[in-house]
């Protein structure tokens, strides 16, 4: 008798809750790990194989909604089934399914495809089963015979992403048997020696900046603090050697770790070994996975560029940048002349800015940048005369031009594309017309002047004047745009309340940030070769368009919000275009992949897509279970999806600090923070039907085994939702310091990865500048002066247990200034409710209006609650230590729960106590009556 099937009790997206002690070495994929399972005898008590089914449209391609499928980590191999209904599809005609998933093992190669023939029977649905046993992002499509002889039809592509397998240290429960938070001294959330599989929703990520952590010998205390507060992953800003600006994101040497973090001088090889060791300690002893930034867009302006100027964009390799360099140089010249010319250098009013812009505009005019746009009238006349003199005239063969006016002739010249070099800006007067062609044209137009070369030259000059009119207008428009951008920048830097408010304009604090880094190794170096554009970003830019390449004039029009300490890297279309740079950055990427558990793609939207693809492919060959999150700003969800599919991004970073009010925050949580609303069947994937059947071995043996088939309707993009990132202002500046506690509670109850930054829990009063600040973190642990850290420990611990425990259903309810969040296990009916009193603005200490939470046929009891009290916001910054606002985290006393009877069915009710000011949270445990697990009845 075969073993009786064991139907999994969890919903389709639930991982295993634990696993045995595991080998943490970097995995390799010599063969498809699922082959042994699918081809073996079924063992006693073995769970059903999961089969996730995607149904294609009749034409063989997925619908838009089903074009992207996110699948769970393959803790146990499972199957992705691609199916079509047999009736009405042409795909049965010699059809094959092609995919870049390595069906039979081996490393993933983007240009290597496996194929499976489609069944030809028409009495049932056609399907192909793909065995899934390792992480990655893959594509597929269907090919079949068309109607014409020899024609092959290719369907739309579909993509599926398999989440990585991440393993962290198991922990003891955060709550006692009577549902009260346990202190660490009482054994709460204690790290255990075994590992558990942690899904992406279970990640609690903390950003840390190594230069504020002190020497590496002191990092253990930082690990201990992060671990005690319940985090499961550290996000390290770049650990490499920094450039002159001291920003971690201005990397001087991608292959060398910052030596300043070591207690004693070390060579690069020793630095790598010691860094790997300390990261291993964070992971194995403190339960902290390691994520770091992958910075592919730029390098520090003082890096290796003297030796490899070809790695950047310069007028020598990108000629259209030539006038942008001249404009940048003119601005630098102007800055040094401002005091001499009586131009204001102390900016306190808009009138000062107007005076600066007017004077700068006059200075720019002296550079005659219009010469990069227009044709040189005199040179055009000379070229025409030379053509006549050397009998080199090319007869005109175009439309009849006899009797045409100069305006009409100019339009014919434009429409016939006779102007060479127009819009290339490679040099002054680069735009021109071949004198042999212009001579033929003008002879045909003015036949009566054919014996008067001088008259013909003058006639051609009049045509050139007409040609130049729109080109002068273009120059004027570009100049206005550049001056306008500089004016806006001056307002932000000097006048606006949220701006930088810098001091006197000088060489140290220039008029504007320079657009070019000049790295000439000596005075004889060619400026065109060694003047390299700095990187930056643009508002509403198309992420698929490189704004350093023509036809973009972003650097000429000063539209780039530039980082003056970072040079933009020039990868070209592939390694052949810049061999050294590709080798260098690939080596940098793979070295990190061997050490870290994941990458944060810095400025993913401005990383050329083909570069990101190549680098991540190389990284995943070394570490297939890399977790990839991305800072991605695109104009649409369709564009987001393009990057996610191509790069294999697991999570897109979003920031809760941008929520403006309660409704906005609730909407954000509905959009990003729930994979499965209450009483719905939406998980990793939008599932519509589930059925049991027999699965044939995908590797074509004769074995079958029972399976559970889940039909999919598509997937939403996974989110890493930050409470506050290292780029954000503090909550004390952006909202209120009290709001931090409410945000922490609300995000803890979302179905998404959650991120924070060191200082958020501690209530840092101001944004900490990554570049300029040199102070050190204060270690406060869970002490009285640690801000909301004690509450965060409970929230992170409870959140981890809900994710691992299958609490997949959730809801969010906004109510005046309150938000209530619920999480429930759909199998057991057990759950938790969090009530948060938000503090988007200062509203005093009153409880305010709120309605009670009433849960039908549900019992509830109080778990815990916290109030953050901040007596003063006036805090003088310590010159050496980064400290949070003085505060007290107050434990709420027991909040009663009432049990009531409605006309038809009973319900429990609880509301905010009298003392529940803005910036307070409380948590209740709940149990549905229909699934009674011995829950104590509230009275």
- pLDDT tens digit string along 651-665? 999 999 999 999 999
Question: How confident is the model at residue 452, as a pLDDT?
Answer: 94
Taking alpha carbons only, the member of 860, 848, 815, 857 closest to residue 915 is 848
Taking alpha carbons only, the member of 814, 815, 807, 822 closest to residue 855 is 822
pLDDT band at 690 (very low <50, low <70, confident <90, very high): confident
pLDDT greater at residue 783 or residue 923: 923
If one counts every other C-beta atom within 10 angstroms of the C-beta of residue 584, the result is 19
Question: How confident is the model at residue 17, as a pLDDT?
Answer: 29
Fold of the 168-294+650-675+717-928 domain: TIM Barrel (3.20.20)
In this structure, what token pair is assigned to residue 444?
Answer: 């045909």
Whether the pLDDT of residue 489 is over 60: the answer is yes
Mean pLDDT of the region 666-675: 82
CB-CB contact of 905 with 857 (8 Å): yes
Which of 264-278, 684-698, 873-887, 897-911 comes out lowest in average pLDDT?
684-698
Whether the pLDDT of residue 280 is over 70: the answer is yes
CB-CB contact of 428 with 383 (8 Å): no
706: phi then psi, degrees, rounded to nearest 5: -65, 150
Question: How confident is the model at residue 2, as a pLDDT?
Answer: 34
Q: What predicted TM-score, i.e. pTM, was given to this entire model?
A: 0.91
Q: What is the dihedral of CA 738, 739, 741, 744, to 10 degrees?
A: -160
Question: How confident is the model at residue 499, as a pLDDT?
Answer: 73
Which of 358-362, 605-609, 704-708 comes out lowest in average pLDDT?
704-708
Question: How confident is the model at residue 6, as a pLDDT?
Answer: 35
In this structure, what token pair is assigned to residue 650?
Answer: 């697991």
Question: How confident is the model at residue 31, as a pLDDT?
Answer: 64
Whether the pLDDT of residue 590 is over 50: the answer is yes
Whether the pLDDT of residue 609 is over 70: the answer is yes
Whether the pLDDT of residue 430 is over 90: the answer is yes
pLDDT band at 66 (very low <50, low <70, confident <90, very high): very high
* Residue 204 β-bridge partners: 754
- Cis amide linkage into residue 551, ω under 30° from 0: yes
Per cent of the chain over pLDDT 90 is 76
Per cent of the chain over pLDDT 70 is 93
Question: How confident is the model at residue 109, as a pLDDT?
Answer: 87
b vs e for 436-461, b when ≥16 Cβ sit within 10 Å of the residue's Cβ?
Answer: bbbbbbbbbbbeebeeebeebbebbb
Question: How confident is the model at residue 674, as a pLDDT?
Answer: 67
In this structure, what token pair is assigned to residue 794?
Answer: 């409970």
Beta-strand ranges (E) seen in 166-270 are 167-171, 191-197, 204-208, 233-236, 240-242, 251-257
Question: How confident is the model at residue 524, as a pLDDT?
Answer: 83
In this structure, what token pair is assigned to residue 107?
Answer: 């490393």
Burial of 295 (0-12, 13-18, 19+ CB in 10 A): buried
pLDDT band at 19 (very low <50, low <70, confident <90, very high): very low
Q: What is the pLDDT of residues 76-126, one digit of tens each?
A: 999 999 998 877 778 878 889 999 999 887 788 888 999 998 887 666 778
Structural domain boundaries of the chain?
34-163+682-706, 168-294+650-675+717-928, 308-367+481-566, 370-467
Question: How confident is the model at residue 13, as a pLDDT?
Answer: 35
Taking alpha carbons only, the member of 468, 460, 343, 476 closest to residue 406 is 460
Whether the pLDDT of residue 1 is over 60: the answer is no
Whether the pLDDT of residue 27 is over 80: the answer is no
Whether the pLDDT of residue 383 is over 90: the answer is yes
Mean pLDDT, all residues of the chain: 90
Question: How confident is the model at residue 688, as a pLDDT?
Answer: 53
Mean pLDDT of the region 739-743: 98
Mean pLDDT of the region 178-191: 95
Whether the pLDDT of residue 14 is over 80: the answer is no
CATH architecture of the domain 34-163+682-706 equals Sandwich (2.60)
């Amino acid at each position: 008798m075969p073993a009786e099937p064991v139907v999994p009790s969890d919903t389709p997206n639930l991982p295993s809750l634990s696993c045995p002690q595991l080998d943490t070495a970097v995995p390799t994929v010599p063969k498809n790990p699922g082959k042994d399972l699918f081809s073996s005898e079924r063992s006693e008590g073995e769970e059903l194989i999961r089969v996730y089914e995607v149904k294609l449209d009749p034409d063989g391609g997925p619908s838009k909604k089903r074009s992207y499928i996110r699948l769970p980590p393959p803790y146990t191999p499972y199957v992705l089934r691609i199916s079509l209904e047999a009736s009405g599809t042409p795909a049965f005609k010699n059809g094959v399914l092609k995919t870049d998933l390595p069906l039979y093992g081996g490393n993933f190669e983007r240009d290597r495809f496996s194929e499976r023939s489609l069944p030809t029977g028409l009495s049932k649905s056609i399907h192909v089963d793909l065995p899934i046993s390792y992480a990655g992002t893959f594509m597929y499509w269907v090919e079949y015979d068309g109607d014409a002889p020899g024609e092959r039809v290719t369907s739309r592509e579909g993509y599926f992403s398999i989440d990585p397998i991440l393993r962290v240290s198991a922990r003891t429960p955060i709550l006692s048997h009577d549902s009260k938070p346990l202190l660490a001294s009482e054994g709460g959330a204690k790290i255990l020696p075994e590992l558990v599989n942690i899904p992406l929703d279970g990640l609690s990520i903390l950003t840390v900046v190594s230069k504020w952590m002190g020497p590496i010998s002191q990092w253990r205390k930082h690990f201990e603090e992060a671990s005690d507060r319940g985090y499961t992953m550290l996000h390290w800003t770049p650990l490499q050697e920094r450039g002159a600006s001291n920003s971690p994101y201005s990397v001087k040497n991608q292959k060398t770790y910052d030596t300043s973090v070591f207690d004693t001088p070390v060579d690069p090889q020793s630095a790598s070994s010691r860094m790997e060791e300390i990261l291993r300690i964070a992971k194995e002893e403190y339960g902290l996975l390691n994520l770091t930034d992958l910075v592919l867009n730029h390098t520090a302006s003082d890096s290796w560029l003297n030796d490899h100027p070809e790695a950047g964009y310069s007028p020598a390799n990108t000629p259209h940048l030539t006038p942008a360099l001249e404009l940048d140089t003119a601005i630098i010249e102007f800055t040094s002349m401002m005091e001499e010319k009586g131009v204001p250098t102390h900016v306190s009013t808009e009138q000062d800015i107007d005076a600066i812009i007017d004077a700068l505009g006059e200075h720019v005019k002296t550079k005659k940048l219009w010469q990069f746009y227009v044709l040189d009238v005199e040179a055009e006349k000379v070229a025409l005369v030379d053509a006549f003199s050397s009998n080199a005239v090319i007869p005109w063969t175009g439309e009849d031009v006899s009797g045409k006016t100069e305006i009409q002739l100019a339009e014919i010249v434009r429409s016939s594309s006779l102007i060479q070099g127009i819009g290339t800006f490679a040099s002054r007067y680069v735009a021109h017309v071949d004198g042999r062609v212009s001579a033929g044209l003008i002879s045909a137009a003015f036949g009566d002047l054919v014996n008067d070369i001088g008259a013909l030259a003058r006639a051609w000059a009049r045509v050139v004047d007409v040609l130049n009119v729109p080109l002068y207008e273009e120059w004027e428009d570009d100049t206005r745009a550049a001056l306008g951008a500089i004016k806006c920048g001056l307002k932000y830097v000097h006048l606006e309340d949220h701006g930088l408010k810098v001091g006197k304009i000088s060489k140290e604090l220039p008029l504007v940030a320079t657009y070019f880094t000049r790295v000439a190794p000596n005075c004889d170096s060619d400026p065109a070769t060694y003047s390299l554009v700095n990187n930056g970003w643009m508002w509403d830019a198309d992420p698929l368009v490189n704004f350093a390449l023509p036809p973009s004039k972003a650097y000429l029009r000063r539209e780039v919000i530039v980082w003056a300490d970072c040079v933009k890297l020039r990868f070209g279309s592939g390694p052949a275009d810049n061999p050294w740079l590709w080798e260098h950055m690939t080596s940098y990427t793979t070295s990190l992949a061997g050490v870290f558990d994941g990458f944060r793609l810095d400025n993913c939207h401005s990383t050329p897509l083909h570069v990101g693809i190549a680098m991540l492919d190389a990284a995943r060959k070394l570490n297939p279970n890399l977790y990839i999150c991305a800072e991605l700003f695109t104009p649409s969800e369709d564009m987001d999806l393009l990057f996610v599919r191509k790069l294999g991004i697991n999570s897109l970073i979003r920031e809760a600090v941008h929520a403006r009010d309660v409704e906005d925050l609730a909407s954000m949580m509905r959009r990003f923070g729930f994979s499965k609303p209450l009483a719905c069947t939406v998980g990793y994937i939008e599932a519509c039907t589930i059925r049991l059947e027999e699965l044939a071995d995908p590797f074509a043996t004769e074995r079958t085994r029972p399976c559970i088939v889940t039909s999919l309707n598509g997937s939403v993009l996974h989110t890493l939702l930050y409470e506050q990132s290292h780029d954000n202002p503090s909550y004390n500046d952006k909202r209120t310091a009290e709001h931090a506690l409410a945000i922490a509670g609300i995000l803890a109850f979302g179905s998404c990865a959650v991120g924070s930054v060191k200082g958020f829990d501690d209530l840092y009063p101001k944004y900490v500048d990554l570049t300029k600040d040199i102070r050190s973190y204060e270690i406060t642990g869970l002490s009285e002066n640690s801000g909301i850290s004690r509450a965060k420990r409970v929230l992170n611990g409870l959140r981890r247990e809900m994710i691992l425990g299958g609490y997949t259903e959730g809801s969010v309810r906004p109510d005046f200034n309150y938000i209530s969040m619920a999480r429930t296990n759909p199998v057991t009916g057990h759950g938790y409710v969090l009530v948060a009193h938000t503090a988007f603005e200062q509203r005093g200490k009153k409880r305010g209006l709120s309605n009670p939470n009433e849960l039908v046929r549900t019992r509830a009891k109080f778990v815990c609650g916290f109030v953050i009290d901040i007596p003063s916001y006036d805090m003088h910054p310590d010159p050496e230590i980064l400290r949070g606002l003085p505060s007290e985290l107050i434990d709420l006393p027991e909040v009663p729960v009432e049990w009531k009877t409605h006309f038809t069915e009973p319900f429990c009710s609880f509301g905010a106590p009298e003392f529940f000011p803005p910036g307070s949270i409380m948590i209740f445990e709940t149990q549905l009556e229909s699934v009674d697990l011995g829950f104590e009845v509230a009275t």
